[in-house]
Amino acid sequence: MTSDQSAPDHGHPGTRAGITESGDGKVPVISVEGISKHFGSVQALRGVDLEVHAGEVVGLVGDNGAGKSTLVNILSGGLQPNSGVIRIDGKQVSFTSSLGARRMGIETVYQDLALAPDLSVWANIFLGREEVVKGPLRAFGWLDRRSMIASAQTDLERTRIRIGSVGSAAGRLSGGQRQAIAVGRAVAWGSRVILMDEPTAALGVEQQERVGELVANVASQGVPVLLISHNLPQVYRLCHRVAVLFQGQVVANLRPRDCTVEDIVSWITGAALGTKP
């Protein structure tokens, strides 16, 4: 396991990296500038600017149709923007698939978690980036199960996630535990930034709390989190900063410690636009 923090191809598959402490707070870990996207005549995004710095939890909120999912899809490699630039550590990047985005260090925790329920926890963490043994059996893609099981355990311990056994099938675990696997996987792959798409939409109150702890914990270890959520009280509680999308643009960057939930709502609905500059 390496912790090569300066290499630009930091998070490419096959290179597992530790949780990084990089970022001096000046150069954003990820930034998007002037991202636009239209579907036919519908302009979904009109020049979105957004920065996420190391250790930050940034909420991305907005009403339905504001462009949240379009932006998330662009950042996770599912869609290509019509114009605009994405930078990681100040360096311009481009990618055309979810694998490409991950190679650039952008890990996405999908709303449906993207787990294979029949596979064990460790297999889910390593799926697509499996470790194979050295020696002649390598030619057959012989899995290095021992190594992967051990790494999976370490990964999950580091994120303070309690899973009974990394050998259990993911589908047998609770919703909170599955969420934890998806987050743990994103963190384990040494990503530069983690996108979380509605991570608690389907969870109970107690499990929402756990996920909240997880997000804070991840960010405190240096990996910034971009949290897309409808759950405003949660966003307000967890995030250092809240970016509000309105009609395809980021219209406000709010700091929860300086504003109220009602302030955020007024930006989401556009009401604030009429009263503030």
Kindly state whether residue 204 participates in binding another protein, applying the rule CB under 8 A: yes
Q: At closest approach, how far in Å is the CB of 163 from another protein?
A: 12
- Please list, in sequence order, all residues whose beta carbon lies within 8 angstroms of the beta carbon of residue 208, skipping any fewer than 6 positions away: 200, 231, 234
Residues 38-67 that bind another protein (CB under 8 A): none
Element at 219 (helix H, strand E): helix 205-220
Q: Which stretch binds another protein (CB under 8 A): 121-129, 219-227, 236-244, 258-266?
A: 121-129
Residues 84 and 74: their CA atoms lie apart, in Å, by 11
70 sits near another protein (criterion: CB under 8 A): no
The C-alpha atoms of residue 20 and residue 87 are separated, in whole angstroms, by 18
Candidates 19, 27, 119, 216; binder of another protein (CB under 8 A) is 119
Quick one: which of 1, 7, 42, 114 contacts another protein (CB under 8 A)? 114
Q: How far is the CB of 213 from another protein (least distance, A)?
A: 16
Residue position matching structure tokens 């963190």: 187
CA 115, distance to chain mean position in Å, is 15
Min dist CB 41 to another protein, Å, is 28
Q: How far is the CB of 132 from another protein (least distance, A)?
A: 6
Name beta bridge partners: 62.
245
Which stretch, 27-35, 167-175, 221-229, 242-250, contacts another protein (CB under 8 A)?
167-175
Q: Which of 110, 236, 246, 267: binder of another protein (CB under 8 A)?
A: 110
* 173 interacts with another protein by CB under 8 A: yes
- Stretch touching another protein by CB under 8 A, among 122-130, 220-228, 230-238, 261-269: 122-130
User: DSSP letters along 245-271, please?
Assistant: EETTEEEEEE-GGGS-HHHHHHHHHTH
Alpha-carbon distance of 104 to 87, in angstroms, equals 10
Helix (H) or strand (E) holding 11: none
113 scored as a contact of another protein (CB under 8 A): yes
Q: How far is CA 244 from CA 48, 78, 107, 198, 274, in A?
A: 11, 22, 22, 15, 15
Contact status: 271 vs another protein (CB under 8 A): no
Identified binder of another protein from the candidate list 58, 79, 170, 254, rule CB under 8 A:
170
Indicate whether 172 belongs to the interface with another protein (CB under 8 A): yes
Instruction: Give the Cβ contact number of residue 261 at 10 Å.
Output: 14
Regarding 220 and contact with another protein (CB under 8 A), the answer is: no
**Cβ–Cβ under 8 Å, residues 163 and 125:** no
Q: Does the protein bind another protein through residue 7 (CB under 8 A)?
A: no
Nearest distance from C-beta of residue 91 to another protein, angstroms: 22
How many CB atoms within 10 Å of residue 19? Answer: 17
Binding site for another protein (CB under 8 A): 13, 98-99, 102, 108, 110-119, 123, 127-130, 132, 140-143, 145, 169-176, 178-179, 201-204, 207
